[in-house]
Amino acid sequence: MHRTAASQSDHCRFAPPALHHDHQPKGSSRARPAHGPVASLWLYDLHVTADLPTTSRYPSSREATGIETSAMSAALDEARLALGHGDVPVGAVVLVGDEIVARRHNERELSRDPTAHAEVLALRDAAAAIGSWRLGDATLVVTLEPCAMCAGACISARLGRLVFGAPDTKAGACGSLYNLCADPRLNHEIALIGGVAADRSAEMVEGFFQALRRA
């Protein structure tokens, strides 16, 4: 359906939704960790909400295809693997047509690499698999709303479509804090769907941070 000027305007009025859970340990006397898995608690400090950062400009999670919904299950399986090495459980897969050409999970702690987010790793693998950095025919399916770095990587890859799970109102750059996928000042826009299997993704991330606090 053709997007109207009114829907563009609605998009501009979009504001981050109200927070349902506050994960920040306010008043905590615990020292802020400098490194290691616990540092992720502070760096991500995820706020999860059932209200999705979708706008009239973009289709809702109900419009994800069956293939994309299945791909999200694969991405959630990838996210679980990140728990094995103390990384925040975020997983991503890249679809070209009906085929998954790349699947990765967050490895920032494992590789001590600040750029080793699941999305960046999956985009690199997908580019290697298809032999081109241009991923216009690809869909990135990721369990958590991408951050500014990852949204920027999607734009650099000229990604065709992005599907994400839970919104991240503290760091999300695809509708929560920013929407780099639809900024007319940039040279590429990406079709976007948010909120696919959002509860399952949010549950996993919340469980990760709760376990860290109990440790």
Question: Given the DSSP bridges, would you call strands 99-105 and 91-96 parallel, antiparallel or unpaired?
Answer: antiparallel
Q: Kindly report each contact of residues 35-42 with a partner whose C-beta sits within 8 Å and lies 24 or more positions away, as own/partner.
A: 36/86, 36/109, 37/86, 37/87, 37/109, 37/212, 38/212, 38/215, 40/87, 40/88, 40/108, 40/109, 40/212, 41/209, 41/212, 41/213
Q: Judged by CB, which is closer to Zn ion: 74, or 149? A: 149
Q: Judged by CB, which is closer to Zn ion: 150, or 204? A: 150
Separation CA 74–CA 10 (nearest Å): 33
**Catalytic center residues:** 119
In the complex, minimum distance from the CB of residue 143 to Zn ion, in angstroms, rounded to a whole number? 12
Q: Which residues are at the interface with Zn ion (CB under 5 A)?
A: 117, 147, 149-150
Q: Judged by CB, which is closer to Zn ion: 101, or 122? A: 122
